[in-house]
């Protein structure tokens, strides 16, 4: 009899729990993407706006400075895709993979670079010319602010030459290295170090590395390097990987401790 009662109450508990969970799931299923999408403002700071479109989102800072030097970038704080959790009242936000791993605690990221090799006759030096959107901005402004520095890593048949590059930082995108006559270069990498006072609203990527480049001609002494994705935006975008936003109701969201109210 005791076993019968125990099994009965256990079964009853399971049934009641299933009913509760099912009713909760049904409640959450009522909220759809069409009901949630729209424009939201951060409570206490209406300059921060979250736009939820059909499948994409954008987080924007519309605040305009009046008394401080203007930032070069960026109004867009984050962008990517969003979806609604199937069981809980949550939005799930993720940024594009090309921005890098959102779980990176060292604020360091990798980018591809395009390289053109040249052989300049009778030259006892290696010339590296680095181009990217930030350098292009400096050219447009006719000045170099010096917000980023470069280091060069080289792998060659001369370990002493390779080690001579270690720890050296260059403020210019034109780098000239002394070279011994019989040095053949195998690989080339560039590291970009971003200064904390760079003119963007929030720095998210402090260290950027290029993927190793395999040199085609070991005798090449001019390397024209283009890093097309190295922009102010890349350095400032917030990285998200399944970041959760709580749905308080159809007109109010809670994200990172901040409420967002539908406009």
Q: pTM surpassing 0.95? A: no
Number of domains comprising the chain: 3
**Does any domain span residue 103?**
no
Q: Are residues 117 and 175 in the same domain?
A: yes
pLDDT (0 to 100) of residue 97: 82
**pLDDT bracket for residue 146 (50, 70, 90):** confident
Is the CB of residue 128 less than 8 Å from the CB of residue 213? no
Nearest CA to 200 out of 46, 70, 47, 45 is that of 70
Gap between the Cα atoms of 161 and 183, Å rounded: 8
Residues 33-49: pLDDT tens digits?
A: 899 999 999 999 989 99
Residue 51 sits in a domain whose CATH number is 2.40.128
> Which domain, by its residues, includes 10?
1-30
Residues 92-134: pLDDT tens digits?
A: 999 988 787 655 555 678 999 999 999 998 888 999 999 999 9
Residue 211 sits in a domain whose CATH number is 2.60.40
Q: What is the mean pLDDT of the chain?
A: 85
Looking at the DSSP bridge assignments, the partners of residue 254 are 246, 259
Q: Are residues 124 and 213 in the same domain?
A: yes
**Does any domain span residue 168?**
yes
The answer, yes or no, to whether residue 67 has pLDDT greater than 50, is: no
Is the CB of residue 91 less than 8 Å from the CB of residue 85? yes
Which DSSP helix (H) or strand (E) runs through 133?
helix 133-141
**Does any domain span residue 81?**
yes
Residues 165-207: pLDDT tens digits?
A: 998 999 999 999 998 888 999 999 999 999 988 888 788 888 9
**Does any domain span residue 100?**
no
List Cβ neighbours of 96 (8 Å cut-off, separation of 6 or more).
79, 80
Residues 223-239: pLDDT tens digits?
A: 999 999 999 999 998 88
Q: Are residues 148 and 210 in the same domain?
A: yes
Q: Are residues 45 and 89 in the same domain?
A: yes
Q: Are residues 149 and 227 in the same domain?
A: yes
Q: Are residues 170 and 227 in the same domain?
A: yes
Q: Are residues 112 and 215 in the same domain?
A: yes
Q: Are residues 135 and 55 in the same domain?
A: no
**Does any domain span residue 101?**
no
- Token representation of residue 243: 């970041």
The winner for highest mean pLDDT among 55-64, 135-144, 254-263 is: 254-263
pLDDT (0 to 100) of residue 91: 96
Q: Are residues 170 and 63 in the same domain?
A: no
Nearest CA to 57 out of 90, 28, 91, 8 is that of 91
Q: Are residues 86 and 190 in the same domain?
A: no
**Does any domain span residue 182?**
yes
Q: Are residues 214 and 250 in the same domain?
A: no
pLDDT (0 to 100) of residue 22: 57
**pLDDT bracket for residue 64 (50, 70, 90):** low
Q: Are residues 200 and 125 in the same domain?
A: yes
């Amino acid at each position: 009899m005791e076993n019968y009662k125990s099994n009965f109450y256990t079964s009853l508990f399971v049934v009641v729990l299933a009913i509760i969970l099912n009713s909760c799931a049904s409640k959450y299923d009522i909220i759809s993407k069409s009901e949630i999408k729209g424009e939201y403002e951060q409570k206490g700071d209406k300059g921060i706006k979250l736009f939820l479109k059909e499948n994409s989102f954008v987080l924007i800072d519309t605040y305009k400075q009046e008394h401080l030097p203007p930032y070069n970038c960026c109004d867009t704080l984050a962008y990517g895709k969003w979806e609604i959790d199937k069981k809980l009242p949550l939005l799930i936000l993720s940024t594009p993979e090309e921005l890098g791993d959102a779980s990176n605690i060292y604020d360091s990221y990798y980018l591809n670079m395009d390289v053109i090799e040249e052989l300049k006759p009778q030259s006892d030096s290696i010339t590296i010319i680095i181009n990217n959107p930030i350098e292009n901005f400096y050219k447009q402004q006719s000045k170099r602010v010096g917000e980023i520095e470069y280091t060069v890593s080289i792998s060659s048949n001369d370990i002493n030459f390779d080690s001579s590059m270690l720890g050296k930082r260059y403020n210019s995108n034109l780098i000239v290295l002394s070279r011994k006559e019989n040095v053949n270069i195998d690989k080339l990498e560039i590291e970009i170090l971003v200064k904390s006072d760079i003119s963007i609203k929030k720095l998210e990527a402090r260290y950027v590395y290029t993927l190793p480049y395999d040199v085609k001609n070991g005798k090449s002494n001019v390397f024209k390097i283009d890093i097309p994705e190295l922009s102010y935006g890349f350095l400032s975008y917030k990285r998200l990987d399944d970041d959760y936003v709580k749905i308080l109701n159809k007109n109010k969201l809670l994200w990172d401790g901040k409420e967002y109210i539908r406009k």
